[in-house]
Structure 1
Amino acid sequence: MLTSLRHARTAALAAAAALLGGLLTLGTPPAADAAVPATIPLTITNNSGRGDQVHVYVLGTSLTTGQQGWADAGGTFHPWPAGGIPPVPAPDASIPGPAAGRSTTIRIPKLSGRIYFSYGRKLDFRLATGGLVQPAVQNPSDPNHDILFNWSEYTLNDSGLWLNSTQVDMFSAPYAVGVRRGDGSTASTGRLKPGGYNGVFTALRAQPGGWGGLVQTRSDGTVLRALSPAHGVGTGKIPASVMDDYINRVWQKYATTTLTVTPFADRPHIKYQGRVSGGVLRFTNSAGAVVTSFQKPDADSVFGCHKLLDAPNDEVRGPLSRTLCAGFNRSTLLANPNQPDGSSAGFYQDAVTNHYARIIHERMADGKAYAFAFDDVGHHESLVHDGAPQQAYLTLDPFS
């Protein structure tokens, strides 16, 4: 989910990411410092303070065979059996997680996928003819709707480990991720500030404009999650017009002003110039040729970074769309005609913005999050990476 935009992807990683909802998009990484083993240890520490049984799942696409499947606690990969119509129950891929205050170490293999964890109940996974059906909690009839769960996303390949926390689909059970690097140092991200977990829900409910509609609770009063606004718009939990005012102002501004996009930090000579004409935003290259164009997007396109802001895996439209998506979600396009922004100081300053993303970033200890699909534009994502990882970490944090 993660979308870790290195601005270019290998075909294998792109295919793996597509199977996981397009959340994790990895670019061609630098060469690893040392050979990456077939599996690495993942230590899961339960600091949640909850007494519920924790269930862990390692699911994804093998980068050696291209098969979808799951890994057991020892890191052995198992392909899924054939699915059906309607989807049939998947084999039980759960791994017992640690009790409160304890740690469990498993091994994770080379794949691109997700590490799910749930409290109290096992997740209900099904297999369709096209592969695994992921939980879709925006659907009230999804069998996982009333389960408290979350997931991290990772890719482990010959060039190293990418491991992130994600809120692209929802904000739920708190956790942090980490890696012990080849040089012995440790990096981590995804941890909320003290009071940050409850603070997110409180702030959403207090935000005018219907943002509190994103919060989902169980019948017993347990707060389960906040849906992302991408799902909120699609399910009518927040108004479909919630971003219209800002989008209209952007379109008006660039009818008379040029929007300059420099999509590659490592290639600053590549620039595109955008102008709105006839209701269409057209970008030209240095030779003055039109390279791509965008119809005026709606909130669904902005929050989901898709549809009218589709981002194909290419060198022109995709990078332009990612930059526009980040600018709309962060509400920086009016303040700065040179995108993307290098600093977060001006993010979310307009009254019309992605308040879900704003609220989450404000409550992260390091300010980093994956609150929308292209939150890594400018490197504001909650991601750890190393080319020679010795150890991965997933810490289940307190619900406070």
Structure 2
Amino acid sequence: MTGSAGGRGGVRRGTGRRRPRREGRHDVLGDVPVSHTPGMPRLLLVNEATMGVGHLGHGRVSDVMLEVMPERGWTVEVLPLPEPGRLGRMAKRGWPVLRRWDADLSQVRWHLTYGWSVRRRILQRLAAAPGVDVVFVHTHSVAFLLPHRSNVPVVLSVDVGTRALRRYELWRRWTRATDVSQWVTDLLEKWAIERHQATLAWTRWTQQGLPTQRNTHVWHPGITAARSPAGPGERRRLLFVGGRFEAKGGYFLLDVLTPLLRAGQVQLDVVTQDEVTTDLPNVTVRRLGPGPELDDLFARAGLLLLASIGEGVPWVILEALRVGTPVLASDVGGNREVIGECGWILPLGEVSAWRSAVQSYLDLDEAGRTALSDRCRERVLEQFDAEVNADRLDGFLRELSAR
């Protein structure tokens, strides 16, 4: 593979060596046999992260696809998506008075503006240089205006449906006016899912939250093997990773951990892009992006804490599980489905329950911590291994493009 897997534009190509594969294994996308066809099919990868509107997990989708798909004979081209500029800023801007009641249709304006920009960019690319076998779009929310193309299959990827995300009220409270804007958004979302050849929902929770089940399959891109040593980590070292500190439950966690931090029983590493003000001891705040330093924090941590108000399918959970770090998370989004029995799932707002769960983790003996750590790594290998899931996607896309 040429170029960096972390790139956000241009073409990345390559056919690397890979482990022998088992022929004839069937996949969860529709019971399609894994098979190869002569030649190198081209995958056009469209990721909203290149527009500056995605989060950590969105960017990692490109990283994973660029690493694993060329090993299966695919040429992967990442299509740059420039931000819509003035129109984009207008789409995100609230209107005075109407904004208070969520009556300015900001959600609909966002989808139409960004959707039109993505539509134009994809159609321009397909017209300028044919030869694309499959268009892969993550997330589906920027593809609501993309027309159906019978000659080039379009596959949408989604970690959370629009209604489920809006219900968390992360940006605005839900009002009667929201009923109207969400109804319009549901129609746009439904038309997009039914218009294109396939939509890949990252979890069953994701799939169930979509306005239609037609053409939908459960598939997760998975995560690649850890470069850092895997193991139980340091017992008293806790980790928080979240770009938006408050929305990810950062201040709630500080309340939970206050007595433990003051007593020196735990140390908390906070990785966020927000400013965090606290006078608590044993708290270290860092601004880090994906890379070796963040990987090292995941490996050294004994427990990852995530008390989000709302979630889709958080990538940080997989970052922790793959190095054997268990997770204590809020019962929102796909958290429960991803974590399984590799940690603790609790409702938001119950400080005493969260504090008790942290204490339960601290009270584990070494044998218990080792068993829990092993379970975390096994879960990733069984459900979220990028190599295995790429095999599934490879067979599915080849079958789709051959129809």
Higher relative contact order (CA 8 A, sep 6+): 1
Identify the structure with the greater helix proportion. 2
Fold conserved between structures, TM > 0.5:
no
Classify the TM-score, shorter chain: 0.3 to 0.5
TM-score, length of structure 2 as denominator length: 0.33
TM-score, length of structure 1 as denominator length: 0.33
